[in-house]
Amino acid sequence: MPNLHVDCSTCNLRGDACGDCVISLLLGPPEVEFEDAEQQALTVLADAGLVPPLRLSDGPERAVG
């Protein structure tokens, strides 16, 4: 699995979904990269209901406002 680059400014769900995103829970809305082991650990925690899942949705920037 390649590294996951998280850039909240490109997430289609930013705004309303930020409060229920594991990135916001752990770090606030930064630009962050996770390696394979970190991605797997976050998935395990989310699957167990201990943290919200990653809600990153890559794609064209959505209009805000």
pLDDT digits (tens, 9 = 90+) for 13-31: 777 777 778 877 777 655 6
For the record, the structure tokens of 42 come out as 């976050």
* C-alpha dist (Å) from residue 42 to 8, 46, 57, 65: 17, 6, 16, 31
Tens-of-pLDDT digits for all 65 residues of the chain? 577 777 777 878 777 777 778 877 777 655 667 788 888 898 899 999 988 887 766 655 544 44
Report yes or no: 14 and 8 within 8 Å, Cβ to Cβ: yes
Whole-model pTM: value is 0.47
For the record, the structure tokens of 56 come out as 């990153």
